[in-house]
Amino acid sequence: MVNQKTTDVNPKATSKKPWGGRFTEATNALVEAFTESVSFDARLYRQDIQGSLAHSKMLAKIGIITNQEAEQIHAGLHRIRDQIDAGEFEWSTELEDVHMNIEARLTEDIGDAGKKLHTGRSRNDQVATDIRLYMREASDDVIDLIRALQHNLLTLAENEVDTILPGFTHLQVAQPISLAHHLLAWNEMLERDAERITDCRKRINVMPLGSAALAGTSFDLDRDFTCELLGFDRPSRNSLDAVSDRDFMIEFASAASLVMMHLSRMCEEIILWASESYKFIDIGDAFCTGSSIMPQKKNPDIAEIVRGKSARVFGNLHALLVLMKSQPLAYNRDNQEDKEPIFDTIDTVARSLQVFAAMIPSITFRRDRMEQAALKGYATATDLAEYLVRLQVPFRDAHEIVGGTVHYAIEQNKPLSDLTLAELQSFGSMIQDDVYDVLTLEGSVNARSHFGGTAPARVREALQAAQDRLTPPK
C-alpha cells in the first residue's frame, strides 16, 4: 500500500532557507506556520528521493556533475531514506516542505555535492513529479483492492446462482432474480471502477521533471533517460502545462468518487437486507456493533460508515475543482492545497475497499426470507403478461388483464401461482394449464435466458466470464 506514515514535525528545528538569498528579513512566524506543508507532504519522501536519485543520475550522464558527486548524492539520499523509515529524521517547518527538508539534510551530510542536486529543476516540476509517482502507486493499490473485493463477491456468488430474491424498482417488489445475478451487478460496477482508474493511470504516468519552474531549463537535460529511470511512459510535452496541471488528480478523485458511490449503493442494500423488515442477510458479528442502551441491537456499522465516507470523497473532488478553476498559468502556491484532499481521498477509498472486502465473506443469506418476499410481491405478474402476449394478446390488453388478476389475488390473499385455473380463466379465457410453468419463481427466473438475463444457466456463464476477466489466463 501507499505509505501513510505520519510524520512528527519539529517547529523549532531551524535551517537557512535555500531560497533566502534576496531576502533581508526573516519570515514572520505566523507566515511560517501558515505556509508550511511538510506536516502533510512529508509522506512524499520516498517519491521525492526516488526522483532525486534519477535526476542526479541524469546530471552525471550529461556531465553537469561528476560520477563521484552522483555517488555521494545517492549514498546521502539512501541514508536519509533510512532515517525517515526509522523515524529518526527531524523535520523542520521552517524549511517548509518535504523537498527542502531533504535537500538541506543532504547538503549538511555531504557538503557541496548536495547543493548541485537541484541543478536544472525547480520545486514546481519536482513536486509535480513526486505526486505523480505517488498517485501511480496509489492507483495500482486501489485497483488491487477493487480486484480483491471482486474476488470475494464472485466467491460469494458461486453458491447463490439458484437462490431467488425479489428484484426491486422504487423499492417495490418487481421481478424475481437470481441472487448471484444481483451480486454480479455489483461486480459490474467495480469492473468499471477498475477500468476508469487504469485509464486514469495513463495520464498520471507522464513525467514533468525537466520543466523546471515553468519554461524549462538552459541545460541540455536528457529527459528520456530520466523518464526511463522513473518508469514514466513519456516526458511532458509542454513545460507550462506540466508544472501547473492537476487534471490527473481531479480525474483520480472523480474515479474514486464513483468507487465510493458504488460502495455506498451496495452498503445501502446491505443495510436494508440486514434490517428486521427484510431479514435477507446476517452480517458477521465482527463487522457489527451493539447499542449502549438497547441490548438486542446488532447494527451494520461498517456498511453505514462506508456509506458515510463517500461524502468526504465527494467533497474532496469538489475542493480540487474549485482550487483549480481560476488559476492562471503556470504554477501558483494555491496548489499546495491539492495534497490534503487527494491524500485523504486515497486513504479513504483504500480503507473502505479493504473493510468492505473483509466484510463480504461474513455475510450469510436467509434464502427462505428472500423467497417469501418474492412470493408476497406478485413478482411473476410480468411473466403472466408475457404469457398472454405469446397467445397473441396485445401487450396493453395483457397488462390490463394481469392488473385485474393481481387485484383479485390480493383480495384473496393468494400468490398468483395459488390461483386455480378457473380463477385465472375468469380474467382471460385463453389461459391454459401451462400457465403455471411461468407463475412460479423458478419458472420466471428460468424464462429470462437471454445474454445478460437472470436465468441460472446464463448467470453461471456470466459468473465464469467475470472470474476469467478477473484472473486472465497466463
- The domain that contains 65 carries what CATH number? 1.10.275.10
> pLDDT averaged over consecutive 10-residue blocks of the chain (474 residues)?
53 54 73 86 98 98 98 98 97 94 97 97 98 98 98 98 96 96 98 98 98 97 98 98 98 98 98 96 94 87 97 98 96 94 98 97 97 91 94 96 95 93 95 93 94 97 97 65
DSSP class of residue 453 equals -
Same domain? For 381 and 442 the reply is: yes
Same domain? For 38 and 175 the reply is: no
Residue 150 gets the label, from left (phi > 0), alpha (psi -120 to 50) or beta, of alpha
Same domain? For 145 and 239 the reply is: yes
Same domain? For 148 and 202 the reply is: yes
Supply 407's cell numbers: 387485484
What is the largest distance, in Å, between two alpha-carbon atoms of the chain? Answer: 101
pLDDT digits (tens, 9 = 90+) for 179-237: 999 999 999 999 999 999 999 999 999 999 999 999 999 999 999 999 999 999 999 99
Q: Residue 12: its pLDDT value, please?
A: 46
Closest alpha carbon to 246 in 349, 332, 312: 332
pLDDT digits (tens, 9 = 90+) for 300-358: 999 999 999 999 999 999 999 999 999 999 999 999 999 999 999 999 999 999 999 99
In a domain, 358, yes or no: yes
Which of 119, 138, 153 is at the close of a domain?
119
Same domain? For 105 and 146 the reply is: no
DSSP class of residue 172 equals E
Q: Residue 473: its pLDDT value, please?
A: 58
Residue 330, preceding peptide bond in cis (omega within 30° of 0): yes
Same domain? For 60 and 201 the reply is: no
Same domain? For 448 and 402 the reply is: yes
Which of 119, 146, 172 is at the close of a domain?
119
Same domain? For 188 and 247 the reply is: yes
Q: How far apart are CA 474 and CA 168, in angstroms?
A: 39
Which residues does the annotation mark as catalytic? 170, 291
In a domain, 17, yes or no: no
Supply 435's cell numbers: 400457465
Residue 74 sits at φ, ψ, to 5 deg, of -65, -45
In a domain, 224, yes or no: no
Q: Tell me whether residue 192 is exposed, middle or buried, using C-beta atoms within 10 angstroms of its C-beta: 0 to 12, 13 to 18, 19 or more.
A: middle
Instruction: Determine contact, residues 256/135, Cβ cutoff 8 Å.
Output: no
Which of 365, 391, 408 is at the close of a domain?
365
In a domain, 29, yes or no: no
In a domain, 315, yes or no: yes
Where residue 192 sits, what CATH number does that domain have?
A: 1.20.200.10
Number of domains in the chain: 3
Same domain? For 55 and 180 the reply is: no
Q: Which residues contact 274 (CB under 8 A, 6 or more apart)?
A: 280, 281, 282, 283, 300, 303
Q: Residue 14: its pLDDT value, please?
A: 43
In a domain, 23, yes or no: no
Same domain? For 106 and 149 the reply is: no
b/e code 443-474 from CB counts within 10 Å (16+ = b) = bbbbbbeeeebbbbebbbebbeebbeebeeee
In a domain, 20, yes or no: no
Q: How far apart are CA 2 and CA 44, in angstroms?
A: 10
Where residue 456 sits, what CATH number does that domain have?
A: 1.10.40.30
Q: How far apart are CA 314 and CA 198, in angstroms?
A: 20
The gap between the terminal CA atoms of the chain, to the nearest Å, is 25
In a domain, 228, yes or no: no
Same domain? For 83 and 158 the reply is: no
Same domain? For 88 and 40 the reply is: yes
Domain that holds residue 379: 373-470
Closest alpha carbon to 178 in 470, 467, 448: 448
